[in-house]
Amino acid sequence: MVVRRWGWLATLGVIGTASLVYIVVVLGFIEAGADHGLGWPLLGVLPLFVFGMWLLTVSSSRIALLIALAATAMLVGSAYETFVQRNPEMLQQPWFPLVNLVGLTADASATSALLIVFATFPTGSVERRWQRVAVAFLWTPALVGPLTLLTTAHVVMPPYTGTTGDAIPNPFVVPWLEWAAPAVYYLVYQPWPAMVLGVGVLGFRALFGEAEVRARTRVMAITVGAAITAFALWTFLPGNRLAEVGVYATLIALPAAAIHGILRYGAFDIAPGDRSRLVARSSSLLITVVYAIGVATPAVLLSDRLAVLPAVLITTLLAVCLLPVRAWMQRWIHRALFGDRDRQLTMLSELGARLEQAVEPRDLLMRLAEAVQDGLDASWVRIRLATTDGTLAESPAGVSGEPAGEAVESIDLVRGEETLGRIDVGPRHRGEYSDAERTLLRTFAGQAGASVANVRLTAQLAEQLDELTASRERLVAAQDDERKRLERDLHDGIQQNVVAQIAGLRLARNRLQRGQLTAEELVELQDQARETLTDLRELARGIHPPVLSDNGLVAAVESGVARFPIPLTVEADAAVRAERFPDDVETTAYYVVREALANTAKHAHATHASVGLARNDGRLRIAISDDGCGIGTLAPASATRGGLANIRDRVAALRGTVNVTANEPTGTIVRVELPVDRPVDRPADREGEPVG
């Protein structure tokens, strides 16, 4: 329920302030004495009144109004008691029963308002139907004035005036309602039934409610329990200073418990973004009031035992001694609300040193997460890095604390226009994050972005260096294997043919010298030379096919279509067919296609394959696909030997890229991109001869 807070603030503020001024002027100046009676209004009611007026400036909730109403009613009741005690002659006036309604209603309204605040804290509502009925019944004490006026033959005085009204007749009584006087006295005038009911609702919610309800009401329930205990001791042990101090201390603790509810659970409908700021303001105001009360307490409570000079000396000494306590309380509340700024600045200055000490990415991110958690007093911090496709990795790279639930704050790690990752921050241990802490988090992220980028770049370079070293080793090994194959082919095949031809030529020379050489023998030697030439051509074709040099890449790829064991389609537009690429690009592309098709033939169990060639954006794009069983998307990253490794090594030598993914609906597709934006320099071009 939203109330018109400014109207209530003006009304209650004026009434409460006027009542307090009247009490202080009368008891402290006009009729000053040892037993002045200022302890209750100054030490007990004033802190609650200041807090209630402040609440009306920041909240429109119903229970904020009830706190202000209760404190104002307590001051009005105290003013009425002071007025009656200083003007006893008015008790004999016939109109006094009507005036007495003010005192009765003020005390009863304060009781009802506070009980409703306690029972419905912190949201102003309860969870169960019987609790709502009980809360409605808590308004019955506020009816004590008119009910006693109509049912009781004598005037019923407020309990703390020190005067009984048994001898004062009530001319406004309704005779046929006098039978209800005992019930009104025990159920309405005596507040214990309503108090038991209100505290019972609060206690039930704090002990047996849902987990969230128990957490929100626990502190207030403990404070109210302590206040009731203190009031009970004060009632049964009149004049006991310790019980009196306990009453005042618990009344001061009630605003403190309400401030805790604002900070942690949004009591009085205060928005999360305003809680820290408003609690800081109210806490400073309350600390000032408590400090003043602490300084004045000895003079107020011991005025009947101290002379003026000792009272002044004790008050001055307390004012000096309590200054450090006041400063400590303000620092403690400020740390609870906004974090330890000194520690945050220290952590910020030490962040650079922490990051400089980290050489591994995981170590760096762990140090960063710990720094953020310490600086913001966060329950947990999680850092995730961006993957190659721009999404965040599922497994965090750095974690401090135990992540639970959703992050309440997140900020990206950015370097230039590149998003490197994200910092997720869990709830604060105490309260909400302030704007200053969000700024600090952005500062953390800004400082860490460059370090994360540098360390990640170093790791990438190290990985690329390892891959380059491994690639070179594979290329050397492949070249060595190729050299050995050529040596073996030359030794076992062509070399043997040449040796046989040399021997045949020697034999022919000898027979020629003897005149025995025939034409058939020369024809046989010619056939042997032709076979050797054929073998040499076959060997050369295995090294570099003539069709690639003569007719270009597309023709070379299509030349093997007929010999491929499964149906194969080659797709290329007229521009690609006509264009000649640099020699290294054509050679690499040709052998990449051959290697990928060889893998398809050996392992894919496919029924069809295709090769697509296209040129755009200064790159030759090759796609080799099949409808086989597939090899998965992890094969290129994990393969260190075999055909895929050979493809990657060849393409990497020209600064190209390889991407192997699953084909839809089945099979595998190998995508290769090679840069081709550089002039083609061929000997045939320089001589003016047509290429091919």
**3-state SS class at 380:** strand
What confidence category does residue 420 fall into, taking pLDDT thresholds of 50, 70 and 90?
confident
pLDDT at 559: 78
pLDDT above 90 covers what percent of the chain? 13
Bridging pattern class, strands 609-616 and 568-572: parallel
What confidence category does residue 254 fall into, taking pLDDT thresholds of 50, 70 and 90?
confident
User: Is the CA virtual torsion 374, 375, 377, 378 positive or negative?
Assistant: negative
Q: How far apart are CA 211 and CA 350, in angstroms?
A: 40
Token digits of residue 301: 């409570």
Most confident of the following: 86-90, 296-300, 678-682: 86-90
**3-state SS class at 417:** coil
Considering only 32-36, 612-616, 652-656, which range has the smallest mean pLDDT?
32-36
Average pLDDT over every residue of 45-53: 85
Q: What is the pLDDT of residues 437-490, one digit of tens each?
A: 777 777 777 766 766 776 667 666 766 676 666 666 666 566 656 666 666 556
Contact 71, 16 (CB under 8 A): yes
Bridging pattern class, strands 398-401 and 380-385: antiparallel
Contact 200, 217 (CB under 8 A): no
DSSP 299-315: HHHTTTT--HHHHHHHH
Q: Which residue has the higher pLDDT, 678 or 566?
A: 566
Considering only 116-125, 211-220, 284-293, which range has the smallest mean pLDDT?
284-293
Contact 333, 277 (CB under 8 A): no
Average pLDDT over every residue of 84-112: 88
Q: Which residue has the higher pLDDT, 10 or 364?
A: 10
Considering only 250-264, 578-592, 615-629, which range has the smallest mean pLDDT?
250-264
In this model, does residue 74 exceed pLDDT 70? yes
Average pLDDT over every residue of 563-591: 85
Q: Which residue has the higher pLDDT, 508 or 229?
A: 229
pLDDT at 130: 92
Average pLDDT over every residue of 14-42: 77
Q: Which residue has the higher pLDDT, 113 or 238?
A: 113
What confidence category does residue 602 fall into, taking pLDDT thresholds of 50, 70 and 90?
confident
Average pLDDT over every residue of 259-269: 77
* CATH code, residues 546-686: 3.30.565.10
Sequence-distant (≥ 6) Cβ neighbours of residue 665 within 8 angstroms: none
| 359-461 against 546-686: fold identical | no
Cβ-based neighbour number of residue 13 at 10 Å: 17
Sequence-distant (≥ 6) Cβ neighbours of residue 462 within 8 angstroms: none
- Give per-residue burial for 457-487: e unless 16+ CB within 10 Å, then b: eeeeeeeeeeeeeebeebeeeeeeeeeeeee
Q: How far apart are CA 84 and CA 397, in angstroms?
A: 74
Bridging pattern class, strands 609-616 and 619-626: antiparallel
Q: How far apart are CA 245 and CA 238, in angstroms?
A: 12
What are the domain boundaries of the chain? Answer: 5-338, 359-461, 472-543, 546-686
**3-state SS class at 409:** strand
What confidence category does residue 631 fall into, taking pLDDT thresholds of 50, 70 and 90?
low
Q: How far apart are CA 113 and CA 595, in angstroms?
A: 87
Select the CATH number that applies to the domain covering 359-461 from these four: 3.40.50.2300, 3.30.450.40, 1.10.3720.10, 3.20.20.30: 3.30.450.40
DSSP 568-611: EEEEE-HHHHH----HHHHHHHHHHHHHHHHHIIIII--S-EEE
Average pLDDT over every residue of 545-569: 79
Contact 345, 376 (CB under 8 A): no
Contact 656, 674 (CB under 8 A): yes
Q: Which residue has the higher pLDDT, 324 or 32?
A: 324
